[in-house]
């Protein structure tokens, strides 16, 4: 496990996440596809928001089970959170928002969220 830092474009929102960055997904649902997300799901205990909670506005769609917070200033959604199928709290980190272009070294698996 490695600790990565990331956040939004204007740096108002910053977080830390502990992950091995395996099983990163690129989902084709209407929302992920449009935003070009590469997502890594982690237990919420492995995610820590360092700053910017007051800068976040939240978008929800579909069944409203996932919260999509984005920075009110720059508009970037650098993470999402919700409840996993087993009821546990999960965070989904947008790998593209980790510092130093970590995403370039990560292979994302295509995930068919459109039909899920």
**Is residue 39 part of the contact set for Zn ion (CB under 5 A)?**
no
14 binds Zn ion (CB under 5 A): no
Cβ proximity of 52 and 71 under 8 Å: yes
42: which residues sit within 8 A by CB, 6+ positions away? 17, 18, 19, 90, 91, 92, 93
Q: What is the pattern of x (binds Zn ion, CB under 5 A) and - over residues 68-87?
A: ---x-xx-------------
Judge whether 35 and 77 are in contact, CB under 8 Å: yes
8 lies in the site for Zn ion, by CB under 5 A: yes
Site size for Zn ion, by CB under 5 A?
6
| Under rule CB under 5 A, residue 42 binds Zn ion | no
Q: Which is nearer to Zn ion, 25 or 93 (CB)?
A: 93
Yes or no: say if 2 and 19 are a contact pair by the CB < 8 Å rule. yes
Binding site for Zn ion (CB under 5 A): 8, 10, 12, 71, 73-74
């Amino acid at each position: 496990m490695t600790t990565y830092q990331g956040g939004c474009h204007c740096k108002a929102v910053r977080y830390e996440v502990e992950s091995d960055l395996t099983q990163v997904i690129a989902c084709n649902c209407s929302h992920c596809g449009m935003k070009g997300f590469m997502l890594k799901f982690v237990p919420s205990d492995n995610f820590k928001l360092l700053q910017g909670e007051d800068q976040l506005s939240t978008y929800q769609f579909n069944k409203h089970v996932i919260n999509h917070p984005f920075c009110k200033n720059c508009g970037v959604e650098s993470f999402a959170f919700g409840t996993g199928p087993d009821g546990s709290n999960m965070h989904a980190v947008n790998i593209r928002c980790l510092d130093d272009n970590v995403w370039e070294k990560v292979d994302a698996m295509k995930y068919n969220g459109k039909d899920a």
